[in-house]
Amino acid sequence: MAIYTLGLHQLRDRGVRTLQKQESLLPFRPMKAARDPGRQTCLRIRVSAECCSITNMAPHLPNSSGICLLIVEPSRMRCDSLVKRLVSTGSFKRVVGGVTFAAAKRAAVLNCADVALISREMQEGKERACDLVQFLAALPRPVRALVIGHEWQRLDVIEAFSYGAKGIVTSRDADIQRICKAVACVHMGQVWASSEHLNHTLEYLAMKSSTNRREAHAKSSLSRREKEISKLLAKGASNRDIAEELHISEHTVKNHLANIFEKIGVNSRVQAALRLVG
């Protein structure tokens, strides 16, 4: 099945007449069929206000990988173009296109997508592309996500993989065949990224692991009293509150806090609270 947001005028341009019913069986000739002009693929087309669902009904596709692909792209024009090109390769069992987070989430759940190709430009209010990556990864039947962007900075790469992306694609360098290869790679459980992008991620993970070990060691070096004060500090207690709770003077609390700051490597109560909570 291929579900995408092609307008009816685009479907008519491919020889499809105006749909009279919500679901119809119509012929469709993929671009690769140029070598075999007589070959056609029968599609089930389901039209709604938001999208057009196209199911490839051919029992055996010579180039099909059996992958159900979800495309998430905020520009309707780019979404239409990308989905139409991917459907035309004959490489996928199903392609689903969505231009909103809600449509993408429904499509992922209802159509059992295997892989999602998500534009890094997706953003609705506070929700961003990485949030969708995280949502798809947490589904009962997880959807592996590829994130596609025009260019990638180090922090962008780290964020994408930190949220659960299985690969990243640079759109300006990716033709349609390269995208198909990336999708197939991720579907097989591999990671799709350049050596540079992988190095960024590995360096970050190594640095984070080292930092976590140092923080764990620093916390373990706190005395029993310092740990009691740390717990109260993390809850937002003032020096007076801590003194009253532990039946000690505020001066003693200040001395303990100075020792705690030095051991965990911070300079303020706010930094200490964040470090202790983390």
pLDDT exceeds 50 at position 173: yes
Residue appearing with tokens 């694609």: 169
pLDDT digits (tens, 9 = 90+) for 215-254: 666 667 888 898 888 888 888 888 999 999 999 999 999 9
Name the 3-class secondary structure at 1: coil
Higher pLDDT among residues 165 and 13, named by residue: 165
| C-beta separation of 201 from 157 below 8 A | yes
pLDDT of residue 278: 56
| β-strands 144-149, 167-170 pairing | parallel
pLDDT of residue 237: 87
Domains of the chain as residue ranges with CATH: 2-200 (3.40.50.2300), 217-277 (1.10.10.10)
pLDDT exceeds 90 at position 16: no
Taking the C-alpha atoms of residue 233 and residue 260, their distance in angstroms, rounded to an integer, is 11
Contacts within 8 Å (CB) and 24+ apart, 248-251: none
pLDDT of residue 175: 87
Q: What is the mean pLDDT of residues 70-74?
A: 91
Contacts of 219 (CB under 8 A, 6+ apart): 227, 230, 264, 276
pLDDT of residue 215: 64
Taking the C-alpha atoms of residue 65 and residue 63, their distance in angstroms, rounded to an integer, is 7
pLDDT of residue 17: 35
pLDDT digits (tens, 9 = 90+) for 114-144: 999 999 999 999 899 999 999 999 999 999 9
Contacts of 79 (CB under 8 A, 6+ apart): 4, 5, 71, 73, 97, 98, 99
Residue appearing with tokens 């909570």: 277
pLDDT digits (tens, 9 = 90+) for 190-222: 999 888 888 887 787 777 666 666 666 666 788
pLDDT of residue 43: 56
One-letter amino acid of 25:
L
pLDDT exceeds 90 at position 145: yes
